Structure 1
Amino acid sequence: MYIERALREAFLRGSDYFPAMLLVGPRQVGKTTFLRHLSSSERKYVTLDNMLDRDFAKRDPAGFLERYGAPVLIDEIQYAPELLPYLKIAIDQARHDHAEKARNMFWLTGSQQFQMMKGVSESLAGRIGILEMLGLSQREMSSSATVPFLPDNEFLAGPRPMTTPELFERIFLGSFPGMVQGGSEQRELFYSSYVQTYLERDIRDLGSVGDLDRFFRFLRSVAARTAQLLNYAELSRDADISIATAKSWLSILEASNLVFLLEPYANNLTSRLVKSPKLYLLDTGLAAFLTQWPTAAVLETGAMSGAFFETWCLAEILKSYYNSGKTRPGLFFYRDKDMKEIDLLIEQNGRLYPVELKKTATPRRDDSRHFQVLRRFKKEIGMGAVVCMYPEVYPCGVDCRFIPAPLL
């Protein structure tokens, strides 16, 4: 059963404006299924996973585009960057012949951006719209409307509140469509195959990674440190690699959309802020598999339950922005050297919205005590939120609300 993706409207708006659209995201999040579902009958489809077509595209890009002319969906474009200059030529020719026809020509997907984005920016600047897709969001699974998260949004509750064990079942399974629809019986097979495919295809293709065993240990170390401050020394020690290699490998995970680095918020008013970003492995199911939690119940009561809850909430909020077409959301965190911390700061229209992410069903007003430190930035402070497992949206002061995590 196809689950309608919230990115639909943003993608179609972009396609009506740009001659080419590129959809990027990790493997298996549903990029191809989504675009084929949107495609009209006249749009051709070709995947560069097919070795014959990949060789054709690399060897004779002009001939490839002559065979698969616009409108066309080209899957896994990163395997043939040689096509990009020829896409530019085709777009410019269409603009010269008939400007109205130079829209909605090329739909492209890419599973990892590490080698691809330089060629896109050089060849197709001003001609291509780029959107990001992650796994299924909670709102997509419940068929709810998606808007960028802000604490003063309207949050509509379902027929009954989701319990903490139920939420941790979602966290444990993760958000890949194949996992959501396949169920827990196939979890081990799905994630072991996913990791093997990622290592053997995406990572081996990057000549900079010579030791896949060490890279796997590095990936597991990243999963074990989700929702923590980034520490390259610890990551390099775990994988027995240099700090320079750890930095290079983390950039690969970030470019593959598996990892998100949440930057600290700062301006010129203070120098007492922690400057390291926070590290998140965005799919909690993959993170749970890599860190070998056996069941959702054990994860819920384990030492990393708070980190997994925070990661899931951050990923849901990030998806709400990506699914609305906002690829550069103003998301940060706050931590100073006095150990005052705010899990998430959202900066929108010159206003700061503070958010705490707490795995508790009994939140307290005191959970928002550090929000007042934001006054030092001399910016307008919007509604704050404590995202938690309280069963309903409830005020916890004049300018703060308890918001149930399942409503994100």
Structure 2
Amino acid sequence: MADDLTHAENMSEYLPRLIDQELKDYLDAVGAVLIVGPKWCGKSTTGRQCAKSVLNLQDEDNLANYREIAGQKISLLLQGDHPRLIDEWQEIPRLWDAVRSEVDRLNEAGLFILTGSTTVDNTAIKHSGAGRIARLKMRTMSLYEQGVSSGEVSMRELFNKTPEITGRSKLDYGELAALVVRGGWPAAVGKSKEQVRRQIAGYCTAITETDISTVDGRQRDSTKAALILRSLARRVSAPANNSGVGEDVAKHTNVSIHRNTVMDYISALEKIYVLEDLPAWCPRLRSKTAIRTTAVRHFSDPAIAAYFLDAAAEDLQFDPRTFGLLFESMAVRDLRIYAQALEGKVYHYRDSDGLEADAVVHLSDGRWGAFKIELGAGAIDTAAENLKKLQKKVDMDCERPPSFLAVITGTEYAYQRKDGVYVLPLGCLKD
């Protein structure tokens, strides 16, 4: 039951992730760490790099036995060398409180690693785990982690105001389209186009047919789920207004769907980390301009949106608008990964004057940088002007000046413009 790991088994064919160091730092500080994120993103594999024993609750052959043991003496499931990985802990919700109690009893750091593909069900636990169980968000792989970004431009260096930024992306228009539809799942790296297509089809089918229902035990219609996901995919990188989703479903089914039902499905998709909307950044402004607080719609990986739009890489190349929206979503995914490695968070900015920043990275010490995201070179000038306008709007008596302003692109070269704004190909970035 302990499933002890040898070092060789633990490190075999592992693709390093930026979250690795963060996990180690948390294990040095707290008794247990919960890694959450979408299925298939690598939580279990990453957890095993630090674990010395494993309780695998994805093992259907033994799950019934584990549940029986949990009903008799749950502490038996916690026995094993530390850190002990408890994979997909939510299969036996009582494990949460058992881990918390064991952390209190032993009063040591680095005891347990938990992984989960759904949000914590607060009704099934007695204690939040505050102070004992730290939460760590994991996403699919960034372009840098996949090995396709050159990594010549570091976000850390941008915040530290490195005087000169240069770099060259090796990703052309078609390769970027292929990366959008492939997604950032570790199992897809190095696979053929046809293998990846089948993998993602299986993944997305599981979302609609099983995952969206097993999240809370409520049965949901797979056809409605697929239509809702298609409607949401059409709204990717746009304000998360759900008013038209029900109408989209009704057009295809000739059956009306209540707004509350739509919201229930969307809530379930958020709980299984399929959707990850981008919240609004609300700085103090010099003027009385109203800041739009509606989140912007994003999927945890742009490949999910591409799948439900029936968009292959070739389709995107002949549909620049859709390609641009999915490219923006891919860039937001990468920025979230890089920002997290710097203890930062990502937001968006929109106001009533129509001024936008597609992403604002805000660090815990108050430093911030703003991005516009443009697939092609034609919109760079306008994007840079908008970022400069945003800088002038922010009240510098209440907020720090921006560490940088940058336009993320699908173009080839990284450089700094004469107005100080950086132009950064996504294929050059890293944390």
Q: TM-score, normalised by structure 2?
A: 0.83
The correspondence of residues 21-100 of structure 1 with structure 2, limited to 5 A, is: 21-40=33-52, 43-50=53-60, 52-54=62-64, 56-57=66-67, 60-61=70-71, 63-70=73-80, 71=82, 72-95=84-107
1:364 positional shift: 3.8
Hey, what does 1:168 align to over in structure 2? 177
1:135 positional shift: 1.0
Hey, what does 1:230 align to over in structure 2? 240
**Separation of aligned partners in 2, 1:201 and 1:57:** 21
| 2:411 pairs with 1:396 | no
Hey, what does 2:140 align to over in structure 1? 135
**Separation of aligned partners in 1, 2:104 and 2:366:** 38
| 2:267 pairs with 1:251 | yes
**Separation of aligned partners in 1, 2:64 and 2:95:** 10
* Pair 76,156 (structure 1): closer, same or farther in 2 beyond 3 Å: farther
1:335 positional shift: 2.1
Of stretches 364-373 and 103-112 in structure 1, the one that deviates more from structure 2 is: 364-373
Hey, what does 1:199 align to over in structure 2? 208
Q: Over aligned residues, Cα RMSD in angstroms?
A: 2.7
The correspondence of residues 84-123 of structure 1 with structure 2, limited to 5 A, is: 84-95=96-107, 102-113=108-119, 115-116=120-121, 122-123=127-128
**Separation of aligned partners in 2, 1:391 and 1:275:** 34
The correspondence of residues 144-163 of structure 1 with structure 2, limited to 5 A, is: 151-152=158-159, 157=167, 161-163=170-172
Q: Identify unmatched segments of 5+ residues in structure 1.
A: 96-101
1:17 positional shift: 1.6
Q: How many residues align?
A: 394
Hey, what does 1:99 align to over in structure 2? none
- 8 Å CA contact 2:70–2:77 kept in 1: the answer is no
- 8 Å CA contact 2:32–2:134 kept in 1: the answer is yes
1:26 positional shift: 0.5
SS of residue in 2 equivalent to 1:104: coil
Counterpart selection for 1:188 from 183, 197, 206 = 197
Hey, what does 1:291 align to over in structure 2? 309
| 2:276 pairs with 1:264 | no
**Separation of aligned partners in 1, 2:124 and 2:338:** 28
* Pair 186,265 (structure 1): closer, same or farther in 2 beyond 3 Å: same
Hey, what does 1:310 align to over in structure 2? 328
**Separation of aligned partners in 2, 1:337 and 1:396:** 28
Of stretches 356-365 and 78-87 in structure 1, the one that deviates more from structure 2 is: 356-365
SS of residue in 1 equivalent to 2:315: helix
SS of residue in 2 equivalent to 1:280: coil
**Separation of aligned partners in 2, 1:132 and 1:117:** 18
SS of residue in 2 equivalent to 1:279: coil
1:224 positional shift: 1.8
SS of residue in 1 equivalent to 2:190: helix
| 2:301 pairs with 1:280 | no
* Pair 161,210 (structure 1): closer, same or farther in 2 beyond 3 Å: closer
Of stretches 358-367 and 397-406 in structure 1, the one that deviates more from structure 2 is: 358-367
Of stretches 168-177 and 295-304 in structure 1, the one that deviates more from structure 2 is: 295-304
Hey, what does 2:6 align to over in structure 1? none
**Separation of aligned partners in 1, 2:155 and 2:186:** 21
Q: Identify unmatched segments of 5+ residues in structure 2.
A: 1-12, 251-256
Query: What are the Cα deviations for residues 369-388 of structure 1, in whole angstroms up to 9, with x where unaligned?
Result: 12223433313233110111
**Separation of aligned partners in 1, 2:34 and 2:76:** 20
1:117 positional shift: 5.7
**Separation of aligned partners in 1, 2:32 and 2:173:** 43
- 8 Å CA contact 2:339–2:361 kept in 1: the answer is no
* Pair 36,330 (structure 1): closer, same or farther in 2 beyond 3 Å: closer
* Pair 120,103 (structure 1): closer, same or farther in 2 beyond 3 Å: farther
Counterpart selection for 2:346 from 307, 328, 331 = 331
* Pair 80,167 (structure 1): closer, same or farther in 2 beyond 3 Å: same
1:19 positional shift: 1.3
- 8 Å CA contact 2:55–2:77 kept in 1: the answer is no
- 8 Å CA contact 1:262–1:332 kept in 2: the answer is yes
- 8 Å CA contact 1:150–1:353 kept in 2: the answer is no
SS of residue in 2 equivalent to 1:229: coil
Query: What are the Cα deviations for residues 121-142 of structure 1, in whole angstroms up to 9, with x where unaligned?
Result: 8242211111111111111122
- 8 Å CA contact 2:408–2:423 kept in 1: the answer is yes
* Pair 123,264 (structure 1): closer, same or farther in 2 beyond 3 Å: closer
SS of residue in 2 equivalent to 1:393: strand
**Separation of aligned partners in 2, 1:275 and 1:338:** 14
**Separation of aligned partners in 2, 1:375 and 1:325:** 26
- 8 Å CA contact 1:151–1:384 kept in 2: the answer is no
**Separation of aligned partners in 2, 1:127 and 1:118:** 19
Hey, what does 1:16 align to over in structure 2? 28
**Separation of aligned partners in 1, 2:333 and 2:395:** 29
Of stretches 82-91 and 261-270 in structure 1, the one that deviates more from structure 2 is: 261-270
- 8 Å CA contact 1:61–1:83 kept in 2: the answer is no
- The amino acid across from 1:320 in the alignment is Y
- 8 Å CA contact 1:7–1:325 kept in 2: the answer is no
**Separation of aligned partners in 1, 2:117 and 2:376:** 36
1:54 positional shift: 4.9
**Separation of aligned partners in 1, 2:298 and 2:60:** 33
Query: What are the Cα deviations for residues 311-335 of structure 1, in whole angstroms up to 9, with x where unaligned?
Result: 111111011123x274xx4322222
